[in-house]
């Protein structure tokens, strides 16, 4: 890897490598052997497979560094993990009057507040998205 410059916002490789990246790790069996498929959730297309989880995690960290370099060389923003601590549960939501009416009607039928009804509807939608 070539020596990287810092981005316009002064973020270098060390900054990105120390972010709390999240991973999806799957165990697969191929020709009688177990191996791990590791994906970086925030970096589309960045994945590796390995028979050892430790080896796979070392490889994925190297791939993260390569991906960051490519984003920076192209002048594109590097996707960053979302920090859970920045979310307090307060969302402003605007909609049209018809949808508002339908949500209120659904809330009444469910014997819930509009906020709790929106939570239930969003949870259902999120579950369906995971299945895709």
Locate the domains of the chain by residue range: 13-73, 90-131
Report the distance separating Cα 39 and Cα 22, nearest Å.
Answer: 8
Closest by alpha carbon to 16, among 80, 83, 86, 82?
Answer: 80
Q: Give pTM, 2 decimals.
A: 0.62
pLDDT at residue number 85: 80
Q: Residue 104 above 60 pLDDT?
A: yes
DSSP state of 26: E
Which residues contact residue 19 at a Cβ distance below 8 angstroms, ignoring those fewer than 6 apart? 80, 81
State the pairing for strand pair 33-40/23-30: antiparallel
pLDDT range class, residue 2, cuts 50, 70, 90:
very low
Report whether 34 contacts 28 (CB < 8 A). yes
């Amino acid at each position: 890897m070539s020596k990287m410059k810092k981005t316009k916002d002064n973020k270098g490789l060390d900054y990105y490598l120390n972010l709390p990246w999240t991973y999806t790790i799957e165990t697969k069996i191929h020709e009688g052997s177990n191996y791990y498929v590791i994906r970086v959730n925030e970096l589309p297309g960045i994945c590796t497979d390995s028979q050892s989880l430790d080896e796979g995690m070392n490889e994925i960290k190297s791939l993260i560094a390569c991906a960051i370099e490519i984003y920076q060389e192209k002048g594109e923003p590097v996707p960053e993990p979302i920090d859970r601590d920045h979310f307090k549960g307060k969302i402003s939501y605007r909609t049209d009057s018809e949808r508002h009416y339908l949500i209120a009607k659904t809330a009444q039928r469910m014997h819930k507040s509009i906020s709790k009804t929106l939570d239930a509807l969003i949870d259902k939608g999120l579950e369906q998205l995971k299945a895709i």
